[in-house]
Amino acid sequence: MRGTRLATNYLRTLYYLNMLRRSAFWEEDRLLKFQEKKLREIVSYAYNSVPFYHKKYESAGIRPDDIRRREDLSKLPILTKDEIKNNLGELTSREFNVEKLRRLSTSGSTGKPTHLYVSQAESEFRKAKHLRANVSCGQKPFDLWAVITAPHHFSEATKLQRVLAFYAPRPISVFQSVDWQISTLEKWRPDILDGYSSSLAILAKEARDRGVKSIKPRFIIGGAELIDNASRRLVEESFSAPFYDQYSSVELERMSWQCREKQGYHIDADAMILQFLDKSGEEVSVGERGEIVCTSLFNMAMPLIRYAIGDVGVPSGESCTCGRTLPLMKVVEGRKDSLLLFPDGRVITPRTFTIAMNEFKFYRYVDQFRLVQKKLDLLEVEIKITNDCSQASLVRDELLSYLRATLNTGARVTWRVNIVEDIPLDRTGKLMAVVSQLGKRAENPQ
């Protein structure tokens, strides 16, 4: 029975992939009609099956019949990260058994993790959407696909997928040393090198400095963080391969991505509607910066309707010469954080730290966190504990031991973990998960 279920899931992913590869070339009118049909369905479903949306739309005097076209989205209120965090149970559809859903957690790059639920079918669709971007850049079914990622992603490929080595990612832990990563990649000689952009930049710098020439992927895929032009050039020159950037989030998986032509980021408009809003909540014009607000057309277990993801992007009115009709965005302006530097010369990215927090066994009791690097050899972690935690001191002590061991900073580095009542916002009004006081910036890892 278990093998049958794995095969079914695997085949369903391939079915979704085939469907998505075709819809990327739909005519504009067909894509718009599809979006609006799915939009009507998801709003009606959320109103009738999700307590949070029913209450919110009732309070705003909104009925499902009020939302017929894409333009009607502006009638709906914005969904914030805090609302997800504070209403997780109410945001889950009554049509699903929560115990059978997959729970996902963001890495907490803002210091405040977000949780959500997806069904098994939605998980397969997310994988297919991810694969579509890679295949569009030239990935083949049996390519050796090396991915620098978090350990909790290691089990995402099915057993059948790994046995067949068919679109099967081969993971490398982001927590492994750069020496180990290079040695492993030299043995594997991957066709595709994938991973967090900042980790790839650090890997590329070390490979360049050592004169490593044996790692020769056909192309490189980066994501999870904004990559600057200097880092992109560094990665491409070090491995003599093109770099394709992808914009994604835990909540929605791939959202937009570069194809081989790199004339912009193709938006997954057959799976979601992205809006770019100004400060007054109006959609910006082509070429203008706007806050990205997402409406998923495939999340049913926990619908995400007009979700403010916290990033800024620029919509494009251009068409790509690749022939895909998915609309383009010019750039994603995420947050650039400081790198963490250590006495032995090692460099750790903010993403590595936030992933480590996500892997912590008592992470559910951490409401907010922030890491401040005071000196090369001094790191202070502030944590705000959730109200339902009865052993705050245990969480603090366990976190201290865990970070020392997981990040392997050595005896020369002092860690301190402090429990605080609240973590103040920075001068821009945002919570920063990682702050370096050393003056080194992530946007120039060279």
Confidence of residue 53 (pLDDT cuts 50, 70, 90): very high
- Domain end among 301, 330, 359: 330
- Domain end among 303, 330, 357: 330
Claim to verify: residue 301 and residue 385 sit in the same structural domain? no
Claim to verify: residue 322 and residue 354 sit in the same structural domain? no
Claim to verify: residue 59 and residue 131 sit in the same structural domain? yes
Q: Is residue 335 part of a domain?
A: no
Claim to verify: residue 47 and residue 78 sit in the same structural domain? yes
Claim to verify: residue 311 and residue 351 sit in the same structural domain? no
3-state secondary structure of 339: coil
pTM: 0.76
Q: Is residue 315 part of a domain?
A: yes
Residues 257, 247 contacting (CB under 8 angstroms): yes
pLDDT of res. 46: 97
**What is the mean pLDDT of the segment spanning 11-29?**
92
Q: Is residue 144 part of a domain?
A: yes
- How high is the mean pLDDT of the chain? 84
Q: Is residue 189 part of a domain?
A: yes
More confident residue, 89 or 43: 43
Sequence-ordered list of residues with C-beta below 8 angstroms from that of 144, at least 6 positions apart, any chain: 165, 170, 188, 189, 190, 191, 192
Give the tokens for residue 373. Answer: 């690097």
Measured CA to CA, the distance from residue 392 to residue 395 in angstroms comes to 5
Q: Which amino acid is at 142?
A: F
Residue 365 domain boundaries: 340-436
Claim to verify: residue 413 and residue 295 sit in the same structural domain? no
- Domain end among 330, 355, 376: 330
Sequence-ordered list of residues with C-beta below 8 angstroms from that of 19, at least 6 positions apart, any chain: 128
Percentage of the chain exceeding pLDDT 70: 85
Claim to verify: residue 324 and residue 359 sit in the same structural domain? no
Q: Is residue 371 part of a domain?
A: yes
Tell me which of 49-58, 72-81, 293-302, 376-385 is least confident: 376-385
Measured CA to CA, the distance from residue 234 to residue 189 in angstroms comes to 19
Q: What is the CATH number of the domain that holds 418?
A: 3.30.300.30
Measured CA to CA, the distance from residue 140 to residue 191 in angstroms comes to 9
More confident residue, 347 or 338: 347
Quick one: CA dihedral 352, 338, 412, 201, positive or negative? positive
169-200: b or e for each residue (b if 16 or more CB lie within 10 Å)? bbbbbbbeebeebbebbeeeebbbbbbbbbbb
Q: Is residue 81 part of a domain?
A: yes
Tally of domains within the chain: 2
Residue 260: HSE in the Cβ half-sphere, 13 Å Cα cutoff: 10
**What is the mean pLDDT of the segment spanning 58-65?**
93
Percentage of the chain exceeding pLDDT 90: 47
* Residue entry with tokens 């790191």: 379
In terms of Cα–Cα distance, which of 404, 402, 272, 407 is closest to 347? 407
Claim to verify: residue 425 and residue 304 sit in the same structural domain? no
**What is the mean pLDDT of the segment spanning 306-311?**
88
pLDDT of res. 429: 43
Q: What is the CATH number of the domain that holds 75?
A: 3.40.50.12780
Q: Is residue 104 part of a domain?
A: yes
In terms of Cα–Cα distance, which of 162, 155, 163 is closest to 102? 155
Q: Is residue 30 part of a domain?
A: yes
**Hey, how many other C-beta atoms are within 10 angstroms of the C-beta on 360?**
18
3-state secondary structure of 428: coil
